């Protein structure tokens, strides 16, 4: 789909449909919606008076123009209450209205720029949010259907119509940034939606190499031999049960080559399938564990966008990738393993494997002299109990860095909620035979997992994002579709842009 800004009046463009908007509680529409209403002899005002149009967020109303406008149909989308309006609303309503146009079979549509008028949003920010919403909301993953639908409906062109031609450069810039960021999130969605039989550690590394080649990133893939040389005993222990060789993906973007310390490390958990290992998971819902590499997918996707948006910052992404399988060589509960930084861990439960591979990844990141670290992982089921599917769990040893990450998430519409890391919780991961134990029992499971990771981030400013509740969506809503969400790619991109000035 192509999205572009055009200078015109929404009442003059000839498309299959045009989209206008309305805030909740408005009785007589103004602006572009008012102009459309006037051209339709007050049809919108009449429907408001009849209670058919209320302006509630996401509400969609279709009117056939019957020749009164060059476009055949008008769709009125509700923006909700004006006091609650923000860029996230723009993303959501653009996604739902775009899907609606596609459902109607409209190949070419147009819309006014939501929020750039009385909504109070900067035109460029509004255009970016609209582009993100449209691209994310129209996403499908139909690769494995045997029957190809040659008559599948597609929205091929979506025009942002603005009467003031002076705003076009800002709108087009916003559209372009929105496209880049959305496509990065869609890459992550694609990787997560693939079957684990396809998206192996080797395939993950091949995708990373393709991204690097296309966008001018440096790439390095550490194999088993190199991991052994570096002493990555925890990652290798998890990999032992699988026939698939592990890979450590390293992507580098040099946005400030003259200042090596101006850097950021993004670390993503890459368990391409998690059976639980010897501590085998129950069968119900195990299919979702093909997405246990969502953290790795998100940092690869983020690097694709960062390479194009070019912040003045050096960014390194590290993605340890392996399967967790119960093979004859698999690690066992009771084993003691050693990480790259020399610390040892007692394996209490082989299904707490993500923190083990991240331990070596964080140790490796510190060896590269990365000054700020953010790790992303589908780490604990406990975070879903605490926060459901509405927020990412956030943990940190550095409040200033956490605030920057949370702000980046807020701008992306990806909520992050901070949980405590009180030292008393560390008692739960004490081991009688090693430096630390890889589980701490049922209580505060997400917190004890984060405290385990803190043993390996050590004194480097670090934020841990537990996305186990948000990496997958069970239904279509706003710009999320059923399946992988691509969370938190856009947060990571925003963070890099904010830190890069």
pLDDT tens, per residue, the chain with 501 residues: 999 999 999 999 999 999 999 999 999 999 999 999 999 999 999 999 999 999 999 999 999 999 999 999 999 999 999 999 999 999 999 999 999 999 999 999 999 999 887 778 999 999 999 999 999 999 999 999 988 776 678 999 999 999 999 999 999 999 999 999 999 999 999 999 999 999 999 999 999 999 999 999 999 999 999 999 999 999 999 999 999 999 999 999 999 999 999 999 999 999 999 999 999 999 999 999 999 999 999 999 999 999 999 999 999 999 999 999 999 999 999 999 999 999 999 999 999 999 999 999 999 999 999 999 999 999 999 999 999 999 999 999 999 999 999 999 999 999 999 999 999 999 999 999 999 999 999 999 999 999 999 999 999 999 999 999 999 999 999 999 999 999 999 999 999 999 998
What are the strands, taking DSSP E only, across 116-209? 157-162
The answer to the question of residue 147 being in a domain is yes
Residues 129 and 276 in one domain: no
Residues 88 and 213 in one domain: no
Residues 253 and 400 in one domain: yes
Domain residues for the domain of 29 are 2-162
The answer to the question of residue 174 being in a domain is no
Residues 218 and 188 in one domain: yes
Residues 150 and 190 in one domain: no
| Separation CA 430–CA 437 (nearest Å) | 6
Residues 260 and 390 in one domain: yes
| Separation CA 320–CA 268 (nearest Å) | 7
Q: CA 255 → CA 218, 315, 476, 500, distances in Å?
A: 12, 8, 37, 8
Residues 155 and 209 in one domain: no
The answer to the question of residue 88 being in a domain is yes
Q: Please give the tally of structural domains in the chain.
A: 2
Residues 115 and 254 in one domain: no
SS3 253: strand
The answer to the question of residue 446 being in a domain is yes
Residues 188 and 108 in one domain: no
Sign for the pseudo-dihedral over CA of 370, 374, 376, 382: positive
In this predicted structure, what is the pLDDT of residue 153?
87
The answer to the question of residue 171 being in a domain is no
Residues 249 and 118 in one domain: no
Tell me which residues are annotated as active site: 281, 355
Residues 196 and 300 in one domain: yes
Helix 168-193 vs helix 489-499: angle between axes, to the nearest 10 degrees?
130
Closest CA to 63 of 81, 90, 36, 93: 36
Which spans in 374-466 are helix H?
Answer: 382-387, 399-412, 445-457
CATH of the domain at 330: 3.40.630.10
Sign for the pseudo-dihedral over CA of 239, 470, 421, 444: negative
Residues 282 and 339 in one domain: yes
| Separation CA 493–CA 268 (nearest Å) | 14
Q: CB under 8 Å to 319, separation ≥6 — which residues?
A: 204, 208, 248, 249, 250, 251, 267, 268, 269, 270, 295, 296, 299, 300, 361
| Separation CA 161–CA 5 (nearest Å) | 6
The answer to the question of residue 140 being in a domain is yes
* H or E segment to which residue 335 belongs: none
The answer to the question of residue 217 being in a domain is yes
* Cβ count within 10 A of residue 152: 9
Helix 168-193 vs helix 294-309: angle between axes, to the nearest 10 degrees?
150
In this predicted structure, what is the pLDDT of residue 147?
82
Residue 218 pairs in a beta bridge with 252
SS3 175: helix
- Please identify, among 162, 195, 229, the residue that sits at the C-terminal boundary of a domain: 162
Contact between 289 and 353 (Cβ < 8 Å)? no
DSSP character for 477?
Answer: B
| Separation CA 117–CA 115 (nearest Å) | 5
The answer to the question of residue 188 being in a domain is yes
CATH of the domain at 17: 3.40.220.10
SS3 152: coil
Q: CA 6 → CA 10, 18, 35, 259, 375, distances in Å?
A: 10, 13, 18, 41, 41
Residue 321 phi, psi (nearest 5): -125, 130
Q: CB under 8 Å to 455, separation ≥6 — which residues?
A: 343, 359, 435, 436
What are the strands, taking DSSP E only, across 280-332? 314-324
Residue 109 pairs in a beta bridge with 17, 158
| Separation CA 449–CA 469 (nearest Å) | 15
């Amino acid at each position: 789909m192509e999205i572009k800004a055009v200078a015109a009046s929404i009442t003059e463009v000839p498309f299959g449909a045009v989209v206008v908007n309305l805030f909740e509680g408005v009785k007589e529409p103004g602006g572009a919606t008012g102009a459309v209403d006037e051209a339709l002899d007050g049809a919108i005002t009449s429907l408001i008076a009849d209670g058919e149009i209320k302006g509630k967020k996401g509400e969609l109303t279709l009117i056939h123009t019957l020749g009164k406008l060059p476009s055949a149909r008008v769709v009125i989308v509700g923006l909700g209450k004006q006091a609650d309006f923000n860029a996230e609303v723009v993303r959501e309503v653009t996604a739902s209205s775009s899907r609606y146009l596609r459902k109607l079979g409209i190949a070419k549509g147009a819309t006014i720029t939501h929020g750039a008028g009385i909504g109070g949003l900067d035109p460029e920010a509004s255009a970016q949010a609209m582009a993100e919403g449209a691209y994310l909301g129209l996403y499908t993953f139909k690769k494995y259907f045997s029957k190809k639908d040659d008559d599948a409906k597609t929205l091929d062109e979506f025009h942002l119509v603005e009467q003031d031609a002076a705003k076009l450069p800002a709108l087009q810039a916003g559209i372009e940034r929105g496209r880049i960021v959305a496509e990065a999130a869609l890459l992550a969605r694609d990787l997560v939606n693939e079957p684990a039989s396809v998206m192996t550690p080797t395939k993950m590394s091949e995708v990373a190499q393709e991204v690097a080649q296309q966008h001018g990133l440096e790439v390095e893939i550490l194999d088993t031999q190199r991991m052994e040389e570096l002493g990555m005993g925890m990652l290798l222990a998890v990999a032992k049960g699988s026939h698939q060789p592990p890979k450590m993906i390293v992507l580098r973007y040099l946005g400030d080559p003259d200042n090596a310390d101006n850097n950021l490390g993004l670390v993503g958990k890459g368990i391409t399938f998690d059976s639980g290992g010897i501590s085998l998971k129950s069968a119900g819902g195990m299919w979702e564990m093909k997405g246990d590499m969502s953290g790795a997918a998100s940092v690869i996707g983020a690097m694709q966008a960062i390479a194009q948006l070019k912040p003045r910052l050096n960014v390194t992404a590290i993605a340890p990738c392996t399967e967790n399988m119960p093979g004859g060589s698999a690690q066992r509960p009771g084993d003691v393993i050693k990480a790259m930084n020399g610390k040892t861990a007692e394996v209490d439960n082989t299904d707490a494997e993500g923190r083990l591979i991240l331990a070596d990844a964080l140790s490796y990141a510190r060896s590269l002299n990365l000054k700020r670290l953010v790790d992303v992982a589908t780490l604990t089921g406990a975070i879903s109990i605490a926060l459901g599917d509405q927020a990412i769990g956030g943990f940190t040893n550095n409040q200033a860095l956490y605030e920057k990450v949370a702000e980046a998430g807020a701008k992306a519409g990806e909520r992050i909620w901070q949980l405590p890391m009180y030292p008393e919780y560390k008692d739960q991961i004490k081991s009688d035979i090693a430096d630390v134990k890889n589980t701490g029992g049922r209580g505060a499971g997400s917190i004890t997992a984060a405290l385990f990771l803190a043993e390996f981030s050590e004194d480097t400013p670090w934020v841990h994002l537990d996305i186990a509740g948000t990496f997958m969506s069970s239904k279509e809503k706003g710009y999320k579709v059923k399946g992988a969400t691509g969370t938190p790619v856009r947060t990571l991109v925003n963070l890099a842009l904010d830190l890069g000035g």
